[in-house]
Amino acid sequence: MKTWHRYVICVALGLIGGAAYAVQQVRGGLNDGVVANGPWETGKSFGTLDASTLTRAKVALSGLLALPAREAMYFTAQNDSDGRALDGRCTYDVRGGQLDGRWWSVTLYEGEGWLVKNAANRWSIPASAVSPDAQGRWSFTVSPEAQSGSWLPTGSVEAFDLTLRLYHPSADIIKSPETAQLPIIDRKGCA
């Protein structure tokens, strides 16, 4: 084998390997190690010049046109509160209290962030769809089957994630999202 053959082989492998590793890293989801809070994860630098090259690429893939934290925060959960991957064939109770911001919603996505087709044509639970008790506690059900009360259908997809949007979050949450009081995701059973 001639010398230039060896260079061609190594350079080609380097090009393919480097690009493939980058794609694998970018496709790793929005869990760039940024901030974790129970099952929820978020980042402080989405949409800003402060975002790292990897974070910017991840957000472009999974959350293009995201707003900076001052305007909105995005908390994404791929697991329940016991650390098990969210499964569209299971039923979950999502329970929380007053969230420290102007408005919130929880949206269910599959894959890289697509709404799931379902017979109820419902893809999110906004703050206005729950009924808080006297202490401000509320809950809704995520399930493949219709439920009484507030119900977010899973469409029976194999895997999904939940994104909690919090618009105009308080200064405390922006500063310390890891200590915010966020909803718990409690798996009740699977079909």
Partner 1 sequence: MMRRWIFPILAGGLIAFGAFQATLLATPYALMQAALMKVGKQGAANQFAFAAMTTADNQTIVRPSPDLSYSTCVFDVSKGPVLVDVQPVPGHYWSVSIFDARTDVAAVRSDRDTKGKAARLALVKAGQTAPAGYEPVRVGYDRGLVLIRILVAPASTFPTIDAIRRKSSCKQV
Chain residues that interact with partner 1, rule: CB under 8 A: 3, 6-7, 9-11, 13-19, 21-23, 25-26, 47-49, 51, 53-54, 56-57, 59-68, 70-71, 74, 102-103, 105, 107, 109, 112-118, 121, 123-124, 126, 128, 163, 165, 167-168
Distance CA 152, CA 149 (A): 10
If the CB atoms of residues 15 and 159 are measured against partner 1, the closer one turns out to be: 15
Cα dist from 182 to 86, 118, 145, 161, 190, whole Å: 17, 26, 25, 15, 24
CB of 189 to partner 1, least distance (A): 25
CB of 71 to partner 1, least distance (A): 5
CB of 169 to partner 1, least distance (A): 12
If the CB atoms of residues 6 and 137 are measured against partner 1, the closer one turns out to be: 6
CB of 86 to partner 1, least distance (A): 16
CB of 164 to partner 1, least distance (A): 11
If the CB atoms of residues 27 and 188 are measured against partner 1, the closer one turns out to be: 27
If the CB atoms of residues 19 and 190 are measured against partner 1, the closer one turns out to be: 19
